[in-house]
Structure formats: structure tokens, C-alpha cells
Structure 1
Amino acid sequence: MTTQEVANQLVKLCREGKFEECIQSLYSPDIVSIEPEGGPWETRVQGYEALAQKGKQWNDMLAEFHSSDISDPLVAENFFSITMKSNVTLKGMNEPIAMDEVCVYQVENGKVVTEQFFYTPMPQPA
């Protein structure tokens, strides 16, 4: 698949809420996932198992998922970016929060090899 095809498929699957299918079909087994400093999980993980653990941590924090909006991809060579906007309620919080991030992906040989997320992390409880 070309970078544009990978980008289009990733957006389609994410919009459908098929995140596990997205990872299994589009990601390299050696995927590197990078989060900003100050968030609730490690800033850099590698491989399916570590990515699954990060996903589990996210799901464990989530009380309710209200909505999301995922942009069309912007593609340049073997990179693409999207924006993700979500409205969620986290466990222990009474009000929903709006989350807004830029996601950048690198594609090699038809697979996502790196994903990096840019957003302002929420303060973490002590």
C-alpha cells in the first residue's frame, strides 16, 4: 500500500472505532509509539505488546467515550498527519473533557512504523 492508501484506511478504521483492526492490519510489529512528556503512560513504547498495554491503560482511565472527530489525512512522502478531537469522561471526573491532538505517522513498506502524538497532557494526580 502507498502512504496515501495507509492513511485513508487508518482514518476509515478509526472513524468506525475499529482501533484493534487498524493496528493489526496497518501497523508494523515493531511499531514505535511516542507520547508527549507528562502524560499518564510511558512516552515511548515499541511493539504490539507494549502498544496493547498502553491501550489497556487508556481504556482503564475511560469512564465514557462521547464523541470523536478525525480529520482527513495530510500526506507528504512517507509521512501523514491527522487531527483527533474527542469528548470523553475519565474515571473520577464528573464532567466530560475535550481532547485535541495532532497525530503524525511514518510509513515504510506499506506499514505504519512510527506514530507520534502532540497534545498538552492533563495534570496527573499526585
Structure 2
Amino acid sequence: MNTQEVANKLVGYCRNMQFENAMNELYSHDIVSIEPKGSPAEEVRGIEAVRQKGEQFEQMVEAMHGVEVSEPLVADNFFSCTMKMDVTFKGAPRSTMEEVCIYQVADGKIVSEQFFFTPMPQG
């Protein structure tokens, strides 16, 4: 798959909240995932660490009400999109979480992802 094809598939999976399918099909085993300073998992490496990060996020969520994902913007081996989640975290009121997502593709797989958002206060 080329970068545009990977981008289109990822956006489709995310719009349908099929994050596990996206990881299984599109992510490299050596993926690097980076989140803003102050996030629970600022940087993780490897598909198993990314899966664990996803599980930790799911454990924080009381209810996921919906997801909006923009069309991907592709340049060379990179693509970006915005994601907006309508979510209720455990012990918190319903809120909207917005982020800019940037991905790098090599050999038809996502090898890095970086998310830009304002982290929630921890503790």
C-alpha cells in the first residue's frame, strides 16, 4: 500500500472506532508513538507497547459517544488528520477531546505516530 492508501484505511477504521483493526493491519511491529509532555504515555516503542497504551486509554473511558476524523492530508511518506472524540472519562463530565495526528509510513506500514493535544491534568 502507498501512503494515501494507508491513510484512507486508517481514517476509515478510526471513523468506525475499529482501532484494534487499524493496529493489526496498518501498524509496523517497530512503531513509535509519541504524545505531548504530561500525557500518561509520552513515548512508547513497539506494537505491544502501543496496544498496552490503547488498553490503558480504554480503561480510563466510561463511554465513547462518537468520533469524527478529517480527511487525510498526504505528503511524501507522511499524512495527518484531525480527530475529535466525544467521550466521558471515568469520574469526569462528558467532554470533547481534539487532536492533530501525524503519521509516517514505510513499506506500507505506519512506523510512527505523533499526537498533538492538550493533556488532561493527571491525579
Where on the TM-score scale, by shorter chain, does this alignment land: which range? over 0.9
Aligned partners of 2:81 and 2:102 also within 8 Å = yes
TM-score for the superposition, normalised by structure 2:
0.97
Q: 1 CA distance for matches of 2:97 and 2:9?
A: 23
Other-structure match for 1:9: 9
1:16 Cα shift? 1.4
Distance 1:98 1:12 in 2: 20
RMSD: 0.7
Residue of structure 1 aligned with 2:103, choices 102, 105, 113: 105
2:86 corresponds in structure 1 to 87
Number of aligned positions between the proteins: 123
- Tell me how far 1:42 sits from its aligned partner: 2.1
User: TM-score, normalization: structure 1?
Assistant: 0.95
Structure 2 unaligned spans of 5+: none
Identity %: 56
Distance 1:26 1:42 in 2: 21
- Residues 17 and 67 of structure 2 are in contact (CA less than 8 Å); yes or no, is this contact kept in structure 1? no
Letter in 2 for 1:115: E
SS at match of 1:32: strand
User: For residues 88 and 69 of structure 1, what CA distance do their matches in structure 2 show?
Assistant: 12
Amino acid in the other structure paired with 2:11:
V
Which residue number corresponds to residue 57 of structure 1? 56
Deviation at 1:92, TM superposition (A): 0.9
Counterparts of 2:108 and 2:95, CA distance in 1: 35
> Matches of 1:49 and 1:109 in 2, distance apart?
20
Inter-partner Cα distance in structure 1 for 2:16 and 2:62: 20
Deviation of the 1:106 alpha carbon: 0.1
Query: Structure 2 matches for 1:113-124, cutoff 5 A?
Result: 113-124=111-122
One-letter identity of the residue aligned with 2:18: K
Give the C-alpha shift of residue 67 in structure 1: 1.2
| Structure 1: runs of 5+ lacking an equivalent | none
One-letter amino acid of the structure 2 residue matched with residue 4 of structure 1: Q
1:15-34 per-residue CA deviation (whole Å, 9 max, x = no partner) reads 11111111110110001000
Aligned to 1:25: 25
